[in-house]
Amino acid sequence: MIDTNAAHPPIVDRAAWTQARKALLPLEKIATRLHDVVAAERRRLPMTPVANDTFMGDNGPVTLIDLFAGRSQLIVHHFMFSPAWDQGCPFCSDDADNAIPHLAHLGPYDISLVRISRAPIEKLQAYSTRMGWTVPWVSAHDTTYNQDWGWTDSEGGEVSGFSVYLQVNGVPYLTYETRGRGIESLSSIAGHLDLTPYGRQEAWQDVPDVWPQGDVFTKIKRHDEYERVAPGDASCCQGLVRSSG
């Protein structure tokens, strides 16, 4: 547990706290409206045609158009999983846990969502089972899809992110992609951390000097690798996975 005696916000009475909270609200509203402006511009981007590549799915070969599953729009999670690896990237695993909604909520908007990686389908299936995921996951192992679109770089390094497609008359078109910190807006864990006093606890953050901070990504693990609470450590939540810290 973090030493909250050494690092905490100023202590004030309720009236002062309410005043300070209200003072922040206009800035939050500006951020919300800016998000709306960016989303509006994103919807006005052009689109470019994409080859209808064939991937390997759970039940055999599937094309990019097949991945739409009869819907007009497709979101792809580009998950870093090299063919040489025995398990998926821990940071992409964090995104898989926190940036993917229940797929039933996407259906009414005519959207499908899938995951694509270069590892063979057998490795993807095994890792998906281990993690308890149900999102469709296909292998680009026998295609140049990743290399063609920059999800595997010229040196063989994997790149994570999300891309969005629209199909028109049976032809897939790329409408948007994001990577790096562009993924953060999709991650519920980042949003939750940003609400807390200590935030993400990473050195780049603007925080008071005594706030706990460390290197980027040092707290992120696969969800079955976090330390578990030992019996007797917590009276009401024994056996639950601790988030981090």
Structure tokens at 111: 């959207």
Query: Over the stretch 67-94, which tens digit does the pLDDT of each residue have?
Result: 999 999 999 999 999 999 999 999 999 9
Side chain identity at 77, as an amino acid letter? H
**Other C-beta atoms within 10 Å of 30: how many?**
10
**Other C-beta atoms within 10 Å of 244: how many?**
13
Helix-strand-coil split of the chain, %, nearest 5 = 30, 20, 50
- Give the model's confidence band at 22: pLDDT under 50 very low, under 70 low, under 90 confident, else very high: very high
Query: Over the stretch 153-197, which tens digit does the pLDDT of each residue have?
Result: 999 999 999 999 999 999 999 999 999 989 988 888 777 778 787
Instruction: Look up the pTM and report it.
Output: 0.83
Question: Is the CB of residue 113 less than 8 Å from the CB of residue 106?
Answer: yes
Side chain identity at 102, as an amino acid letter? H
Domain extents in the chain: 48-185
- What torsion do the CA atoms of 113, 111, 144, 82 make, to the nearest 10 degrees? -10
User: d(Cα 107, Cα 123) in Å, to the nearest integer?
Assistant: 28
CATH architecture of residue range(s) 48-185:
3-Layer(aba) Sandwich (3.40)
